[in-house]
């Protein structure tokens, strides 16, 4: 059975994962309108993945005898002034999510809830991958600079983004 504090913290994480899905969805829609097919496809897929992260938490809370709370959808507030700015916001958000997961792990260990600690290890590993992916994309955009041809190639490259079962990703 989950403690009241841990259940509340996990429910907070449900909201964070849902908000993450919305952020990626907002970016996908914006990229699609701009004509960046590869970036939008990548972002739509990431939005779906974040929703799955949220559902995984919902099911875990309920399976442990708690009550998952389904949060309201929050419209993302993003700066769309440039691709670099957009992806910088994405990277910063992934760092925020990682810190939130780390806080959850700390609570689980403090409460000696080793089942939840074990469950959260998947999220810890996932966040390492998410941050690395966001950092790699941002690094590539920094390399491209204002080169329209480079941005076109990047858009094509991101279509071929590969995620293996081992958690490694490449662009």
Long-range contact list for 59-65, CB < 8 A, 24+ apart?
Answer: 60/10, 60/116, 60/119, 61/2, 61/7, 61/10, 61/11, 61/14, 64/1, 64/2, 64/115, 64/116, 65/1, 65/2
Q: How far from each other are the two terminal CA atoms of the chain, in whole angstroms?
A: 42
Torsion sign (Cα): 65, 63, 101, 44: negative
* Annotated binding residue 50: yes
Q: Is 53 annotated as a binding residue?
A: yes
Q: Is 127 annotated as a binding residue?
A: yes
Residue ranges in the chain assigned as alpha helix (H)? 4-34, 37-63, 83-110, 114-144, 148-159
The span from the CA of 142 to the CA of 158, in Å, is 15
Token pair of 115 as six digits: 């089942």
Binding residues for Fe cation: 17, 50, 53, 94, 127
Binding residues: 17, 50, 53, 94, 127
């Amino acid at each position: 059975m989950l403690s009241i504090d841990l259940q509340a913290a996990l429910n907070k994480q449900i909201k964070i994962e849902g908000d993450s899905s919305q952020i990626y969805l907002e970016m996908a829609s914006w990229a699609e309108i701009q004509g960046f097919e590869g970036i939008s496809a990548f972002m739509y897929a990431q939005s779906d993945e974040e929703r799955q992260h949220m559902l995984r938490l919902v099911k875990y809370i309920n399976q442990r005898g708690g009550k998952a709370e389904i949060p309201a959808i929050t419209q993302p507030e993003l700066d769309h002034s440039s691709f670099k700015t957009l992806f910088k916001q994405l990277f910063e958000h992934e760092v925020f999510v990682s810190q939130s997961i780390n806080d959850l792990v700390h609570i689980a260990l403090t409460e000696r809830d080793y089942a939840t600690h074990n469950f959260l290890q998947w999220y810890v590993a996932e966040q390492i991958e998410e941050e690395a992916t966001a950092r790699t994309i941002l690094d590539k955009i920094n390399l491209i600079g204002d080169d329209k041809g480079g941005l076109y190639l990047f858009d094509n490259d991101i279509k071929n983004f590969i995620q293996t079962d081992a958690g490694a990703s490449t662009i």
